Amino acid sequence: MSNLVFYMEYGPLLCRVLKSAYVIYTYYDRFKNDEGIVQFTYNELNEHLGLATSTIQKSNAILRQLKLIEEVESSQGKKYKILPVKKLSSELKKEILDLAQGEDYSDDSSLRRRILQNDLPIDFQQLLNKRVLKKAYKDLGTLRSGKNLCNYFKIDYNTFKLLLEKEGENSFKTRFNTLAKSIEEDQDKQPKYTEQERDLAKYLYDKLSTLGAKPINKNWFIKNCNIAHTIVESITSEDAKQALDWGFEDDWWKDKITDLTAVNTLYSRYRLQAKKFKISRSTPIPPHIQEIIYKQVKTSIEVNTYEDAFMLKQSVLEGQDKEDILKIVNILEQNNIIPSGQENLKFG
C-alpha cells in the first residue's frame, strides 16, 4: 500500500483506538483485486493473524464508519470494497475517539512534519527544470516510468513516490505532472518519422546486429531516427546506406560505426573514394544492391558484375520487355549502378 493520506491521517487514529483495524486494513488494501474488491473469511484472518472474530467485526465496523471500506454482497459471500482514501475530518476523528473513549491527540507530530514537509529536497528540484526534464524525455522516451527516471537522475525512488502522493495546487506532484505533460505535448507536435528515416535507422541496426554488435540502449532507435531526419534532408537514404556499406568494408572505419552520426564523415570519404574507383566489366556489384534485387525480384537471373548490369540494360535498350529484367534494370538505375534513360555503361 502506498497511500500517504492513510498513513498520516488514519494511522495515528486507528493505532490509538483499535490497532487490529489498522492491521486488517493493510491486508485488505494489499490483496484487493483490480476492482478494489477483497474477500477474507473470519477463519482465515483468525488463523493467519490470531485475531478473534469479535475483534475482526469491531475492526470492520470502524473501517466502515471511516468510509475506508464498504460491504459488497455476492453469490460467493460477503466481500469488501476498498474506497478512495479522503482527508480525515476533525468531526469524524472526534466521533471515533468518543465511541472508543480514547484521548484526543495532536496532529502536529515530528514524523508528520518530516514526511509532509513543504521544502523540496535539493536532488528533486532538477525534476522541475523544463530544460533538464526535456533532455531526460529525449533520452528515456518517457517521463511516466518513475524507476527509470530516478535511475537516470540518481535519486531515491521511495522519496519520489512519497512526493507524488502529496496533493495541492503548488505541490511537487502537480508541478511535475504539469511540466511532464507540457513536454509530451511539445513532442507530439514534432513531425513523425518518415518511412525513409525509419528504414535508414533500421538498416544500420540490422547491420550491427549481423556483426554481433546489436545496440542494447532502448532509445537507440529513436535517437537514430532523429539523426536520419537530418541526413535525408541533404542526401537520399540509399546514398547514406552506400556510405555505411563502404565504412563497414573499410579497415579503419569498420569498428567505429555505432550510430548514424558516422554518415556525416563517411559520405564525404565514400564520395572521394568513388572518384578514384575504376569500374571494369568484372567489378562486382555491391552486395546490398544484389540483396535488394534478390528481395524484390523473384528471378533466377544473376547480377554479379557490372558486365551483367550492362548486358541487362543493353537488352532493354534493344526492346526487351520481360518483367523481371525491367524490374532489375530499374533497381540498378535507382541505385546509380547504370545510367538511366537511353544511356548505358561505358568501360575504358
Domain count, the chain: 4
Residues 9 and 108 in one domain: yes
- Above 90 in pLDDT, residue 312? yes
Whether residues 272 and 284 share a domain: the answer is no
104 and 128 in a single domain? The answer is no
More confident residue, 82 or 110: 82
Residues 139 and 153 reside in one and the same domain: yes
The edge-to-edge listing of strands for the beta sheet with 77-82 is 37-38, 77-82, 69-74
If one compares 174 and 117, the residue with the highest pLDDT of the two is 174
Pair (141, 210) in one structural domain: no
Tens digits of per-residue pLDDT, 236-256?
888 899 889 888 888 888 888
Instruction: State the pLDDT at residue 13.
Output: 93
Same domain, 19 and 101: yes
Same domain, 234 and 257: yes
Give residue 253's domain range.
195-276
Single residue among 90, 112, 134 that ends a domain in this structure = 112
CATH number of domain containing 20: 1.10.10.10
| pLDDT tens for each residue of 222-231 | 889 889 988 8
Based on the fold, state whether residues 178 and 209 are members of the same structural domain: no
DSSP letter, residue 44: H
User: Are 56 and 66 in a shared domain?
Assistant: yes
Most confident of 103-112, 164-173, 304-313, 330-339: 304-313
Which residue, 65, 87, 112, sits at the end of a domain? 112
The CA-CA-CA angle for residues 168, 171, 175, to 5°, reads 115
The pLDDT mean for the chain works out to: 86
Burial 156-184 (b: 16+ CB within 10 A, else e): eeeebebbbbbeeeebbeeebeebbeebe
**Candidate from 81-95, 104-118, 171-185 with smallest mean pLDDT:** 104-118
Dihedral (CA of 260, 264, 269, 271) sign: positive
d(C-alpha 155, C-alpha 146), whole Å: 10
* 310 and 296, same domain (yes or no): yes
82: Cβ contacts below 8 Å, ≥ 6 apart: 28, 29, 32, 36, 37, 38, 68, 69
Rounded (10°) angle between helices 220-231 and 195-210 = 120
Residue 57, Cβ density class (10 Å: 0-12 exposed, 13-18 middle, ≥19 buried):
exposed
Rounded to 5 degrees, φ, ψ at 73 are: -85, 140
What is the helix (H) or strand (E) element at residue 134, kind and residue range? helix 130-140
CA neighbours closer than 13 Å in the CB half-sphere of residue 124: 19
Is the whole-model pTM more than 0.75?
Answer: no
CA distances 172 to 108, 148, 291, Å, are 21, 18, 55
Task: Choose the final residue of a domain: 112, 141, 164.
Answer: 112
Same-domain status, 209 and 179: no
Looking at the structure, tell me whether residues 19 and 89 fall in a common domain: yes
